[in-house]
Structure formats: structure tokens, C-alpha cells
Amino acid sequence: MYYKNIKELIEYSKGGILSKVLNKSDKNDITLFCMAEGTEISEHTSTRQGFVFVLEGDGIFNMMGEGIRMSSGIMIPLKKGVVHSIEAKKKTSFILSLSN
């Protein structure tokens, strides 16, 4: 398949986080994350540069002490080595794209 409708791939587990690798290569990785309401991804450091593109939901992307509202259409650039965490206030899905 050469194309995918991202919205059709979104699915939420009850109280958990699902991730689906959409593309993996030597140069970049693209992953869909679907976070159930009330879930969190604890603070960690990005190993590569990239971006987060929010598809739907309501959450907070905490990066270097700043809380960025995650809602549909928001794109958040990530630099290598940046400390960040994510909180889903409601069901929240996003694409994470990382490149070398």
C-alpha cells in the first residue's frame, strides 16, 4: 500500500497508550501514538530531531518547562536532546516523526 488514511488507523485502548510504526528507515521513523484519556508519557530525552503533529485530542506537551497545548493541527518541533513529557487530558493522537 502506498498511502494510508491516518484517521482510520487511530484507535484507543482503555486506559493505555498504543503506538503504531507507520514507516521505519535508515533516515527517519514515523509513529502514530494514541493516548487514552488521563494517560501520560513520563519525562524523557529525544534521541533525534523531528516533530510531533497532533491529529486530535486535548493534551499538554511539556518541553523544557513550557506546557504546549496539544489540539488538532498543532505541530511541535523537537531538537535532539530535548527533555519532554506528555499528558492526555482527553483521548489524544499524534504523529511522531524522527530523523537522523
CATH number, domain at 42?
2.60.120.10
Q: Does some domain include residue 1?
A: no
Tens digits of residue pLDDT in 70-98: 999 999 999 999 999 999 999 999 999 99
Label the pairing between strands 28-35 and 40-45: unpaired
Going along 9-91, which residue ranges are E strands? 17-24, 28-35, 40-45, 49-56, 59-63, 66-70, 75-78, 83-88
Closest CA to 97 of 53, 57, 63, 60: 53
Tens digits of residue pLDDT in 26-71: 899 999 999 999 999 999 999 999 999 999 999 999 998 899 999 9
Indicate the pLDDT class of residue 2, thresholds 50, 70 and 90: low
Q: Does some domain include residue 2?
A: no
**Is-above-0.85 flag for pTM?**
yes
Closest CA to 80 of 62, 61, 98, 60: 98
Number of structural domains found in the chain: 1
The three cell numbers locating residue 17: 497508550
Question: What range does the domain containing 47 cover?
Answer: 16-99
